Amino acid sequence: MSHALPDCLERHLNARIEEAGLGAVRRAAQSLAALYMASGAAHVSTWEEALAYAAMRMPGTFSSLRRIVKELCTADLLSDGLRHLDVCAGPATMSFALASEGGRVGEAVCV
């Protein structure tokens, strides 16, 4: 796993992967990767696929979003108690990115 995720989130994800079985999550990751290569998208329908998706995609997405959030904070464009709507939230990566910059999330609606 990449170190792009906050330590507590990475530990939690690794623990869930261990509980589900690394082999099962690895097979799900291979299946998702093949679907992405074939069509550019994949439908996650099992717990193992959700874990594989989070392990494969979340670190890079989090890193990108965290950079954007840092820029918004630098420009003083975010306020404490922020309310946000995240459509296509996946594993709520945007909420984690916002929270990583001082807990600015007041309310998050993730779809």
pLDDT digits (tens, 9 = 90+) for 26-61: 999 999 999 888 988 778 889 999 999 999 889 999
Sequence length of the chain is 111
Q: How confident is the model at residue 69 (pLDDT cuts 50, 70, 90)?
A: confident
Structure tokens at 76: 């003083």
Closest to 98 (Cα-Cα) out of 74, 82, 77:
82
Maximum C-alpha span of the chain: 45
pLDDT digits (tens, 9 = 90+) for 80-93: 777 888 888 888 89
Query: pTM for this one?
Result: 0.81
